[in-house]
Amino acid sequence: MTIEVRTDAGSYRFACRSYTEYKRAVTLLQKEEGTIRWLRDTLRPGDTFCDIGANVGLYSVFSGNLVGETGHILSFEPHAANALSLMQNMALNGLSSRAKVISAALGDRNGFFDFNIIEATAGSAMSQLDRTLDGHERPFVPVLREFKAAFTLDHLVAEGIVPTPDVIKVDVDGNELLVMAGMRNVLGSAKRPRSVQVEVSPHYAEDLDALMDGLGYRAQKRHRTDIGLRKLARGADPVLIAHNAIYAPAAA
């Protein structure tokens, strides 16, 4: 089935082969309102947007109209079923010519590692590279395992494989700190990204702020997902709930 989501900025189409994909598509504007607002406020025509942990491509597709025909989208998604849906969704929205879908993992080193799949269904999350602890640090038994290529963003940019992004979004189910460590050179370059949104897990929040501070970035805004807001409403400790942080160069 194909779902069309209409907004004041345009309409977006998503191929849904599972209930998980359907639920992601129909909640595009509600699941992470802060992310949608950040993309609208930040992306400009001609930008290169890097979506790390793109899943089935909700935000990659949403960014298409914002970067325009002269812009580029780099979508990283190591989960094979998600990557297939991601490619289909980019094609459905006429974005294939300005997008690169990269079915590889990003981290703090280059190599091949076991990619432990927690669920094979398209739209699923929490699969892990080189470990069997999910994003909440809980152990799991993989249903499938793939020997997956992984790279640092620094390596891909230095080799000319991808351009330096203008805007980066990172949501990789607890491995964000490793991904950020693998882009130190990009973040410290003369043409460094002007805005970076990272999902922040409680177990490394202070380390992430320290890393970004050392690279000359400061957290400008923080916002919670719909799930996080519902946890807060039920009385959960705010410190223990993941959130999204938006970083920009301190001079900005």
Which tens digits make up the pLDDT trace of 65-113?
Answer: 999 999 999 999 999 999 999 999 999 999 999 999 999 999 999 999 9
Q: Is the pLDDT of residue 240 over 70?
A: yes
pLDDT tens-digit map of 11-52: 999 999 999 999 999 999 999 999 999 999 999 999 999 999
Please report, rounded to a whole number, the percentage of residues in the chain having pLDDT higher than 70.
100
Distance CA 116, CA 16 (A): 23
Inter-residue contact 132 to 114 (CB < 8 Å): no
Q: Is the pLDDT of residue 9 over 80?
A: no
pLDDT tens-digit map of 142-197: 999 999 999 999 999 999 999 999 999 999 999 999 999 999 999 999 999 999 99
The whole-number pLDDT of residue 252 equals: 56
Residue 133 DSSP one-character state: B
Inter-residue contact 105 to 179 (CB < 8 Å): no
Inter-residue contact 69 to 89 (CB < 8 Å): no
Distance CA 227, CA 23 (A): 13
The strand pairing partners of 3, in sequence order, are: 14
Rounded to 5 degrees, φ, ψ at 202 are: -55, -30
Distance CA 182, CA 187 (A): 10
Distance CA 227, CA 34 (A): 13
Inter-residue contact 199 to 223 (CB < 8 Å): no
* Closest to 154 measured CA to CA, from 77, 215, 200: 215
* Residues 6 or more apart in contact with residue 201 via CB below 8 angstroms: 135, 174, 176, 242
The whole-number pLDDT of residue 34 equals: 97
Alpha carbons within 13 A on the beta-carbon side of 77? 27
Q: Is 151 helix (H, G, I), strand (E, B) or coil?
A: strand
Q: How many CB atoms lie within 10 A of CB 64?
A: 22
Structure tokens at 169: 């979004």
The whole-number pLDDT of residue 136 equals: 85
Q: Amino acid letter at 60? A: S
